[in-house]
């Protein structure tokens, strides 16, 4: 390893341990932890200089990682709630007591209602194979518990891209530098994928033009050559409008379309209606700019379209992602180095599902039903019945602060007849509603294996330090619960490394790109690149698409089964439908569209309790355009009430041209209990599902904004 141990003034001997950042970010960095040999304390976390994407540097969020690991609020032993739910008062219990109590409660629930009454809820606290994927499945499959539809993040785009191309593959990020035109669409890599930024800068130095399409002037947009600002949720129309111009002006690649796609003529006919004039009206972007961008995209080679998940968190997100996914095909840029579509590399490795979850074991009953995680509040309130939900086991997630329509979730978690267990590192907003709160290890204290969604490396995380206090990893806790429930299958008893070995071996059997990966090599090198055949490292360069037709499906008939038009189409999300827009109302009542994308210094709500990072983000804020602020009598720095049909929260107004008129921005990630009024932006967001794959619709959020003082005055009238 090339990372040198720091010379210590006290001459203390240290050792270096390679690990992997587990957080929800496309970059999945290699980390190196320096540990003092004498007492096993971690002294420093840095980026792995040998990791080809990390290149020795880690982001502002993870640089102070030891402040997280050794945070004074870390949970170090199990706790049982005393007093009312949400009160945050606890008594210490032993692990034995906690596990026995959980098993006893679950056995009683299963006897009375069946295991469907138990719901595991987890998402992205860590993205590891062991501590997430295996813990999401094995115990719950054996039990026959309710399944969770994990669609809070990118389900619509994942499905749309996979169905259009047959696989979620994307270029090596290093190939960005070969592009001549890069469209960054509804994606803010300067914040959400920082290691892509040096590649973008290098591409620009080599003459590429970078175009950012985002209503907000993001950090990424600031260094773009062109920034287009569509009205939120109109991107599908913009993409169809670009295709209109491409076909109308003969800039489409007809030979490529004929050879490699299904449905291009139908698409051409569909986009005929999306004239620049009409699209200008829908998106608010000047028709001349639409024509200009289409011409550049149709004539610049190679051209890359990079989008991420923000743009699809709308009621029409599935069709938006479909329209975006079709664009590179229209100009024949698929399979070209420096061109094509960059959405996610997540599809290169699909862990063998049976090795992960053992659902086919005869001991496992079928999963009785699946509950959409975006509907957690509604599910707890009775949308899910027969049997109703009687127990929730939350790990790797903080739904009270991160899931939509949080007020409803809190209402559900207050139910006296709901038995809630939370496994966490910290006393989060969700932890406050636990009956039993179990202490979790941090990534420095656990083993795991990580693929990435922004590059093509497979990386091991080796534990660097011993668990703090009595903290246990997710897998160690799941094993204890399985034993207490009397489940004695060997796959519920394996130690973590054996699980990784089993899943890796099973997956390698069907995944040629894992050819060079072994656990021994991962232990020695930390990270190993996926292998591609000569010339096969550019996705779809061979013109083969693993779809039902073997072609890129511009018309995707299988989408009909998902209730979607097989051709991309644009429709306004129901949240913004004309009938809901009051026509003659005061500016205070006129709605703004509230976007709540990633904050720069947190990963959703993870890190948001680190005082250093919290200080950098400042008071929870909402950005308003000067015109919208003036119309509402709001000055920069005022406290404002942000209200939707779901609920409200108080935020500090930041008046800025960074947001266009009609749009407000309040980043996700704040802990409700660390916010001025004990609520965050998710008290306003909608739990309506999008058009595809049960997608969350955080940004289809119509709100009113008014000064807090005025709200008080009105209430007093
Ligand atoms: N308003 C709004 N809200 C959003 C979004 C948005 O755009 N707008 N985006 C959504 C998106 S994209 C996502 S992915 C979700 C993410 O939502 P969540 O998956 O709930 O992610 P976090 O809020 O970061 O909470 C993860 C929790 O897991 C804990 N954790 C970390 N490691 C471990 C571990 O090893 N074991 C255990 N037991 N716990 C661990 C952390 O301490 C943290 O409290 O949020 C969504 N929320
Ligand atoms: N620092 C940091 N990094 C993160 C995260 C974080 O919380 N903080 N979260 C991680 C997670 S869970 C995820 S899923 C990824 C998300 O990664 P991204 O998708 O890059 O991040 P977001 O901020 O959710 O959304 C990107 C952009 O979409 C824009 N947007 C919203 N609605 C629309 C629209 O209708 N049209 C267009 N064109 N743009 C729109 C927003 O203004 C935002 O700038 O990032 C990951 N990385
Ligand atoms: Mo996400």
Nearest to 274 by CA among 520, 571, 45, 677: 571
pLDDT of residue 715: 42
How do strand 639-643 and strand 592-595 relate by DSSP bridges? Answer: unpaired
- Nearest atom within ligand 1 for CA of residue 441: 35
Condensed to tens digits (0 to 9), the pLDDT of residues 396-453 reads 999 999 999 999 999 999 999 999 999 999 999 999 999 999 999 999 999 999 999 9
- pLDDT score for 714: 45
Q: Which ligand is nearest to the CA of 192?
A: 2
Q: Which tokens hold the place of 557? A: 């008939």
Select the CATH number that applies to the domain covering 79-153+349-525 from these four: 1.10.760.10, 1.10.10.10, 3.40.1190.20, 3.40.50.740. Answer: 3.40.50.740
- pLDDT of 296 over the 50 cut: yes
Task: Work out the number of other CB atoms within 10 angstroms of the CB of residue 497.
Answer: 15
User: Is the beta carbon of 671 within 6 A of some atom in ligand 1?
Assistant: no
If phi over 0 gives left and psi between -120 and 50 gives alpha, with beta otherwise, what is residue 604?
left
Q: Is the pTM of this model over 0.95?
A: yes
Residue range(s) in the chain whose domain bears CATH number 3.40.50.740: 79-153+349-525
Write phi, then psi, for 314 (nearest 5 degrees).
-130, 165
Tokens describing residue 440: 């979790």
- pLDDT at site 585: 65
Q: What is the spatial distance between Cα 333 and Cα 501, in angstroms, rounded to a whole number?
A: 38
Residues in the chain: 717
CATH superfamily of 171-343+541-558: Dimethylsulfoxide Reductase, domain 2 (3.40.228.10)
Nearest ligand 2 atom to the CA of 667 is 23
Output the CA–CA distances (angstroms, integers) from residue 644 to 297, 330, 344, 585, 589, in the order listed. Answer: 38, 39, 32, 16, 11
As annotated, the residues of the chain forming the CATH 2.40.40.20 domain(s) are 574-716
Task: Please report which confidence band the pLDDT of residue 709 belongs to, taking 50, 70 and 90 as the band edges.
Answer: confident
Q: Is the pLDDT of residue 524 over 50?
A: yes
Say whether pLDDT at 134 is over 90.
yes
277-308 b/e (C-beta count within 10 Å ≥ 16 → b): eebbebbbbebeebbebbebbbebebbbbbbb
Query: Please, is 421 exposed, middle or buried when counting C-beta atoms within 10 Å of its C-beta (0-12, 13-18, 19+)?
Result: buried
In CATH, the architecture of 574-716 is: Beta Barrel (2.40)
Give the tens place of pLDDT for each residue, 220-274: 999 999 999 999 999 999 999 999 999 999 999 999 999 999 999 999 999 999 9
Tokens 């290699």 belong to which residue? 30
Look at residue 588 and tell me whether its pLDDT is greater than 80.
no
Tell me: pLDDT of 580 over 60: no
Q: Tell me whether strands 209-213 and 181-185 are parallel, antiparallel or unpaired.
A: parallel
* pLDDT bracket for residue 535 (50, 70, 90): confident
pLDDT at 491 exceeding the cut of 90: yes
387-396 tens-digit pLDDT: 999 999 999 9
**313-366: per-residue pLDDT in tens?**
999 999 999 999 999 999 999 999 999 999 999 999 999 999 999 999 999 999
Q: What does the pLDDT read at residue 88? A: 87
Give residue 57 CA to ligand 3 midpoint distance, Å. Answer: 22
Alpha-carbon distances of 697 from 540, 562, 621, 680, rounded to whole Å = 31, 17, 21, 16
Task: Give yes or no for residue 23 CB within 6 A of ligand 2.
Answer: no
Give the pLDDT band of residue 711 (cuts 50, 70, 90).
very low
CA-proximal residue: ligand 1, atom 37 (nearest): 396
Per-residue confidence (pLDDT) for residue 9, from 0 to 100: 67
| CA 70 to each of CA 10, 74, 371, 468: distance values in angstroms, whole numbers, following the listed order | 21, 7, 35, 8
- Closest ligand relative to 665 C-alpha: 2
Whole-number pLDDT of residue 4: 57
> In the chain, which residues fall in CATH 3.40.228.10?
171-343+541-558
């Amino acid at each position: 390893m090339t990372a040198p141990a720091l010379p210590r003034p006290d001459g203390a001997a240290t050792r270096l341990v390679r690990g992997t950042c587990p957080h929800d970010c496309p970059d999945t960095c290699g980390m190196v932890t320096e540990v003092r040999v004498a007492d096993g304390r971690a002294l420093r976390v840095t980026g792995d200089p040998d990791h080809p994407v990390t290149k020795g540097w880690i982001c502002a969020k993870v640089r102070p990682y030891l402040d997280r690991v050794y945070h004074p609020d870390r949970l170090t032993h199990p706790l049982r709630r005393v007093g009312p739910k949400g009160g945050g008062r606890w008594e210490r219990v032993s692990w034995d007591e906690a596990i026995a109590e959980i098993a006893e409660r679950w056995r009683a629930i299963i006897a009375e209602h069946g295991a469907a009454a138990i719901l595991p809820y987890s998402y992205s606290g860590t993205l590891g194979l062991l501590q997430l994927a295996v813990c999401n499945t094995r115990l719950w499959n054996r039990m026959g518990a309710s399944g969770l539809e994990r669609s809070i993040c990118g389900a619509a785009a994942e499905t749309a891209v996979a169905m259009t191309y047959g696989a979620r593959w994307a270029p090596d990020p290093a190939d960005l530098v070969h592009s001549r035109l890069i469209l960054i669409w509804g994606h803010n890599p300067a914040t959400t994928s920082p290691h892509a930024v040096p590649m973008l800068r290098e591409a620009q130095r080599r003459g590429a033009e970078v175009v950012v399409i985002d209503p907000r002037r993001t950090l990424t947009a600031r260094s773009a050559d062109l920034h287009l600002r569509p009205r939120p949720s109109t991107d599908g129309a913009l993409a169809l409008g670009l295709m209109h111009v491409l076909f109308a002006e003969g800039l489409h690649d007809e030979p490529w379309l004929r050879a490699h796609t299904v449905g291009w003529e139908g698409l051409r006919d569909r986009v005929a209606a999306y004239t620049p004039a009409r699209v200008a009206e829908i998106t608010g972007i000047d028709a001349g700019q639409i024509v200009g961008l289409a011409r550049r995209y149709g004539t610049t080679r190679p051209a890359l379209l990079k989008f991420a998940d923000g743009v699809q968190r709308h009621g029409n997100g599935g069709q938006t992602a479909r329209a975006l996914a079709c664009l590179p095909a229209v100009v024949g840029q698929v399979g070209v180095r420096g061109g094509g579509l960059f959405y996610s590399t997540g599809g290169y490795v699909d862990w063998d599902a049976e090795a992960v979850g053992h659902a086919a074991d005869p001991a496992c009953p079928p999963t009785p039903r699946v509950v959409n995680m975006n509907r957690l509040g509604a599910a707890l309130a009775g949308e899910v019945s027969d049997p109703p939900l009687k127990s929730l086991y939350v790990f790797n997630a903080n739904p009270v602060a991160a899931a939509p329509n949080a007020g409803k979730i809190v209402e559900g978690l207050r139910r006296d007849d709901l038995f809630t267990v939370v496994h966490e590192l910290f006393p989060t907003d969700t932890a406050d509603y636990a009956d039993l709160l179990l202490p979790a290890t941090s990534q420095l204290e656990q083993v795991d294996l990580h693929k990435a969604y922004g590059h093509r490396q497979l990386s091991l995380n080796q534990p660097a330090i011993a668990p703090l206090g009595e903290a246990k990893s997710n897998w160690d806790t799941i094993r204890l619960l399985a034993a207490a429930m009397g489940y004695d299958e060997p796959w519920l008893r394996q130690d973590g490394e054996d699980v990784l070995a089993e899943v890796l071996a099973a997956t390698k059997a069907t995944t040629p790109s894992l050819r060079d990966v072994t656990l021994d090599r991962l232990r020695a090198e930390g990270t190993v690149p996926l292998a591609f055949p000569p010339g096969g490292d550019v996705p779809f360069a061979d013109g083969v698409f693993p779809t039902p037709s073997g072609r890129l499906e511009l018309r995707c008939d299988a989408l009909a089964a998902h209730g979607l038009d097989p051709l991309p189409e644009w429709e306004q999300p129901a949240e913004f439908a004309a009938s809901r827009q009051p026509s003659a109302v005061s500016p205070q009542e006129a709605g703004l569209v509230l976007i709540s994308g990633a904050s720069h210094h947190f990963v959703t709500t993870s890190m948001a309790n680190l005082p250093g990072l919290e200080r950098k983000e400042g008071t929870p804020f909402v950005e308003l355009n000067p015109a919208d602020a003036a119309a509402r009598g709001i000055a920069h720095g005022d406290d404002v009430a942000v209200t939707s049909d779901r609920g409200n929260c108080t935020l500090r107004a930041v008046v800025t041209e960074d947001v266009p008129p009609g749009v407000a921005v309040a980043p996700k990630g704040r802990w409700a209990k660390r916010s001025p009024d004990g609520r965050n932006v998710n008290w306003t967001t909608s739990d309506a599902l999008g058009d595809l794959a049960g997608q969350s619709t955080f940004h289809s959020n119509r709100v009113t904004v008014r000064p807090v003082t005025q709200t008080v005055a009105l209430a007093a009238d």
